Chains A and B, each alone.
Chain A
Amino acid sequence: DAKTTQPPSMDCAEGRAANLPCNHSTISGNEYVYWYRQIHSQGPQYIIHGLKNNETNEMASLIITEDRKSSTLILPHATLRDTAVYYCIVRVEKGGNQFYFGTGTSLTVIP
């Protein structure tokens, strides 16, 4: 079963910040939150991940709530090339380090 809940779709105006939410209420203490995105006809691409603290890299920022039950991926200045499906994943520590993907959020950046 999926361990995360995301809205199925969102729109964002070009140049604005895109804020993509994710609920992971059953996350355990040693599980990381990962974000990937998939542009049409390509394999998913890693964006960012975190455990407790907020993280930022050249692509995005990840804000994790203090209780770790939810997080938000922020694309600070969305462009048309950011139109993609965004997956929020909680990484299970079990044997071979599985990653469970859900159905993600389809983000459309509007000109």
Chain B
Amino acid sequence: DVKVTQSSRYLVKRTGEKVFLECVQDMDHENMFWYRQDPGLGLRLIYFSYDVKMKEKGDIPEGYSVSREKKERFSLILESASTNQTSMYLCASSILSRGEKLFFGSGTQLSVL
């Protein structure tokens, strides 16, 4: 089975800190995605990547950046964390072709104090 691993299940950071959320997948998938999930708002796409060193903005990229230096790893970076970035962050991957499904990690619950 595909495994998508997020480095932390829970994370607590201070306002203004630089935060790295790491995601690794083990199935050689081309596509990787970062979503955030908030009550009443569902999942919203932050960034995605369809190849190494490639990235595309999703619906809510403001305040975030990403890095994809290796195919299996996709990092989400909060340059200066703010309280409104307190959220559940979900990473996903998929094969680059029509009709393929997403595989999700278990999520990182980030609290910014």
Q: Which residues of A contact B (CB under 8 A)?
A: 2, 32, 34, 36, 41-46, 49, 51, 87, 93, 95-104
The residues of B that contact A103 with a CB separation of less than 8 Å are 40-42
Task: List A contacts of B102 (CB < 8 A).
Answer: 36, 44, 46, 99
Main secondary structure of the interface of A (DSSP, over half): loop
A104 touches B42 (CB 8 A): yes
B101 touches A49 (CB 8 A): yes
Q: A98-B45, A101-B43, A103-B42 are in contact. Are A43 and B99 (CB under 8 A)?
A: no
**Interface on B for A, CB 8 Å cutoff?**
4, 31, 33, 35, 40-45, 48-50, 54, 56, 58-59, 90, 92, 94, 96, 98-107
> Whose C-beta in chain B lies nearest to the C-beta of A47?
B101
CB distance from B98 to the nearest CB of A (A): 7
Question: Do B45 and A43 touch (CB < 8 A)?
Answer: no
Sample of 19 A–B contacts (CB below 8 Å): A2-B42, A32-B99, A41-B107, A43-B4, A43-B106, A46-B101, A87-B43, A96-B31, A96-B48, A96-B50, A96-B56, A97-B98, A98-B33, A98-B48, A99-B45, A100-B45, A102-B42, A103-B40, A103-B41
Q: What distance in Å separates the Cβ of A44 from its nearest Cβ neighbour in chain B?
A: 5
Q: B65 to chain A: closest CB distance in Å? A: 17
* Max chain A Cβ within 10 angstroms of own Cβ: one of B48, B56, B100, B102: B102
Q: Note all chain A residues with C-beta closer than 8 A to B43.
A: 44, 87, 101
